[in-house]
Amino acid sequence: MFYFTMKKIILFIQALIILCFASVNAFSQSAKLTVSANSKTVALNSSIQVTYTLTGGNASKFIRPTFANFQILGQYQSSGGGMTVVVNGKLVQSGDEETKWTYQLVPTKTGKITIDPANAYVNNQWVSSPSIVIEAVNGTAKNNGNNNTGQQNTKTNPAASSGGEDIFIRAYADKQNPLQGEQILVTYKIYTRVNVSQFAINKLSAYAGFWSQDLLKEGDNAKQSTEVINGQNYTVAEIRKIALFPQKSGNLTVQPLEVECVAQVKTKSKSAGNIFDSFFNDPFFGNNFFDSYQNVKKKLKSNILNISVRPLPDNNKPNDFKNAVGSFTFNSSIDQTQVKANEPVNLKFTISGKGNLKLIDNLNIEFPPDLETYDPKTNDKIVSNAAGVSGSRTFEYLIIPRNSGQFKIKPVNFSYYDLNKRAYVTLTSPEYVLNVAKGAGGSNITTSGVNQEDVKYIGSDIRFSKTQNTKLEKIGSFFFGSGLFWALFLLPLLLFIAFIVIARKQLKLRSDVQLMKNKKATKVSMKRLKLAQQFLSENKKEAFLDEIFKALWGYLSDKLGIPVADLSKESVENALQLKNVNPETSKAFIETINNCEFARFAPADNSTVLADIYNEAFDIISKIEKELK
């Protein structure tokens, strides 16, 4: 009985201590924004972490500095703090919380660089952090301590270290010997025996020879499990999952993913001479009342994956095969077949299933010459989740018949390699017959480009009689056989010959696919940037970044004649160098690509960063276009 009474008394004392600490914090702290860096100096092209810590309130707005003369590699936000104690075997949080904004920065020039203050709106007022000075040097920087202008809770302590066996990252591929174009799922898992408070990706894996698609979206809860390795229990979480589609056969390599995380390691308070030590450190309380947690920074790197890609078989390969690999269905529809001249007709082709849908190009369709057609509109309903990439891609063609009559649209073939059947499959749409009647007024010709100012009202029905002197013609003079007659007679022949010469020249130019892509590269990239701007206004981050990637890589692929499978940062730099493009421009392009990649994996959603990426992409495409002319 005495035992249980004493236990209640001790629990009551613990509760009083928690309330006292919480009260002191509530009255003694006000909103404060501090800044810290993990080093005073940093080598050029090496990274440094700058952290802004807010205590004493929650920020409704946070405005970061511009970080002039730095490149932002990554950023993340975390919340927590206060005092953590154990009551009845449970962790209890008390005191003010703190919010941290951490940025991974790389200097772009040497010398002392001042980072301006950050600003946060807390409790209906603005608070600002101090400015901070970072020195960028050539070679290797000496880490001479933390440059703290505020709080810093990431330390190195022998009593609170996290060994290499406590936390590590592994990469797994569900297929080691896939076919070219076959989907591979690569999963990155973090294994830990300690608490991890936050992590940021320092360097993304390189996927040379692959087309990649992220499967874990921002905000998705990490899938967690437990595994036993070498007799030790580990908590396992999937931090990243990628769908890869190999674009060429042979031995391909997936480079490591590099992550920097903060592990929370338990330490114990050793206060010699404290009269409460013998009381609270009694085994009755589990020796955990005065335990505390300390943050230890860890840099992790995943393993290299070697993928051996088999080529697709050449036997029975269709002539119209365009590297579609997976399991698909093919459907088509037309909105009407009985129309009048100059009335629009919509023809749709939909490819559905699982596989490399985003790599499927326009279909080969032969339209009758009397049907005016336009480039198809592509609509994607593609889902990327943990199971892979699936959905549908629709090509919508606008057709305008200019003359009356009956016109046949021949069946369209779609060929792909079926992974289940291990064979090529060709799906065919039905033939469509358009019956076109004459348009309004019996005219089948539509005149475009007429300016209303060129059409003038005469103003009267009766014209004055001709008052000038009549020109008399000499008797025996005839138009037939005259110079004007022969000129008008030969003019159509000359025009016909000129038409044939120009048509052949245009046909030759159109047969040069690379030349046509080169000419249309800028126009296509601007269309994609316009679509990206629309996604940005709709706050669709993933769709925005996809279009930015397509605009940048697609522009250089078409402009420089580099196949998509061979696109990489190195190949782009070499190609731009051969075209005598300014090295600074080439470097700016690579920096824009890096900013896009890290924006995709930044946990915090910052519309300002996305807007900056859009402006960078627009400017770099315009700059390269000018230098290539």
Domain with residue 527: its CATH number is 1.20.120
pLDDT in tens, 445-480: 443 333 333 333 334 444 445 556 666 666 656 667
The pLDDT of 495-507, averaged and rounded, is: 85
Q: Are residues 240 and 169 in the same domain?
A: yes
- For residue 610, is it within any domain? yes
- For residue 624, is it within any domain? yes
**Looking at residue 426, what is its pLDDT?**
92
pLDDT in tens, 345-358: 999 999 999 988 88
Q: Check: CB of residue 581 under 8 Å from CB of residue 623.
A: no
**Looking at residue 311, what is its pLDDT?**
93
pLDDT band, residue 11 (cuts 50/70/90): low
Q: Are residues 243 and 273 in the same domain?
A: yes
The 10 Å CB-count burial string (b at 16+, else e) for 257-275 is bebbbbbbbeeeeeeeeee
Give 622 or 165, the one with higher predicted confidence: 622
Task: Please state, in angstroms and as integers, the Cα–Cα distance from residue 363 to each residue in 238, 334, 415, 569, following that order.
Answer: 38, 16, 10, 30
**Looking at residue 238, what is its pLDDT?**
86
> pTM for the whole thing?
0.45
- Boundary-marking domain end, from 311, 333, 353: 311
**Looking at residue 348, what is its pLDDT?**
94
The total number of structural domains in the chain stands at: 4
Q: Are residues 127 and 226 in the same domain?
A: no
We report the CATH number of the domain holding residue 146 as 2.60.40.10
Which of 240, 438, 427 is closest to 329 using CA atoms? 427
The pLDDT of 99-111, averaged and rounded, is: 85
- For residue 460, is it within any domain? no
Report angle CA 467, 470, 474 to the nearest 5 degrees: 180
The one-character DSSP state at 137 is E
Percent of the residues in the chain that have a pLDDT greater than 90, as a whole number:
20
**Looking at residue 433, what is its pLDDT?**
92
**Looking at residue 219, what is its pLDDT?**
53
- Gap between the terminal Cα atoms of the chain: 93
Q: Are residues 250 and 163 in the same domain?
A: yes
- For residue 332, is it within any domain? yes
Q: Are residues 86 and 193 in the same domain?
A: no
**Looking at residue 246, what is its pLDDT?**
92
pLDDT in tens, 14-45: 655 555 544 444 434 578 999 999 888 888 76
Q: Are residues 206 and 267 in the same domain?
A: yes
The DSSP result for 475-529, as a single string, is TT--STTSHHHHHHHHHHHHHHHHHHHHHHHHHHHHH-HHHHHHHHHHHHHHHHH
Give the range of the structural domain holding residue 90, as residue numbers without chain letter. Answer: 1-153
Q: Check: CB of residue 257 under 8 Å from CB of residue 169.
A: yes
We report the CATH number of the domain holding residue 407 as 2.60.40.740
The pLDDT of 158-175, averaged and rounded, is: 69
The pLDDT of 43-48, averaged and rounded, is: 75
- Boundary-marking domain end, from 442, 469, 495: 442
State the pairing for strand pair 70-80/32-37.
unpaired
Q: Are residues 549 and 597 in the same domain?
A: yes
Q: Are residues 114 and 7 in the same domain?
A: yes
**Looking at residue 533, what is its pLDDT?**
87
**Looking at residue 86, what is its pLDDT?**
38
**Looking at residue 92, what is its pLDDT?**
40
- For residue 266, is it within any domain? yes
Q: Are residues 5 and 146 in the same domain?
A: yes
Q: Check: CB of residue 611 under 8 Å from CB of residue 618.
A: no
We report the CATH number of the domain holding residue 195 as 2.60.40
Q: Are residues 262 and 329 in the same domain?
A: no
**Looking at residue 606, what is its pLDDT?**
65
Range of weakest confidence among 42-51, 103-112, 264-273: 264-273
**Looking at residue 26, what is its pLDDT?**
45
Give 457 or 360, the one with higher predicted confidence: 360
- For residue 470, is it within any domain? no
Specify which of 167-181, 214-228, 363-377 reaches the highest per-range mean pLDDT: 167-181
**Looking at residue 476, what is its pLDDT?**
58
**Looking at residue 437, what is its pLDDT?**
92
**Is 87's pLDDT higher than 50?**
no
- For residue 359, is it within any domain? yes
pLDDT band, residue 102 (cuts 50/70/90): confident
pLDDT in tens, 242-298: 999 998 899 999 999 888 887 766 554 444 444 444 434 443 334 444 455 567 788
Q: Are residues 343 and 292 in the same domain?
A: no
**Is 132's pLDDT higher than 90?**
yes
- For residue 492, is it within any domain? no
Task: Please state, in angstroms and as integers, the Cα–Cα distance from residue 440 to each residue in 198, 343, 596, following that order.
Answer: 69, 10, 53
- Boundary-marking domain end, from 88, 120, 153: 153
SS3 33: strand
**Is 165's pLDDT higher than 50?**
yes
Q: Are residues 226 and 89 in the same domain?
A: no
The residue with tokens 């009335």 is 343
Task: Please state, in angstroms and as integers, the Cα–Cα distance from residue 467 to each residue in 458, 462, 463, following that order.
Answer: 19, 15, 11
Structure tokens at 334: 């037309």
Distance CA(628)–CA(625), nearest Å, equals 5
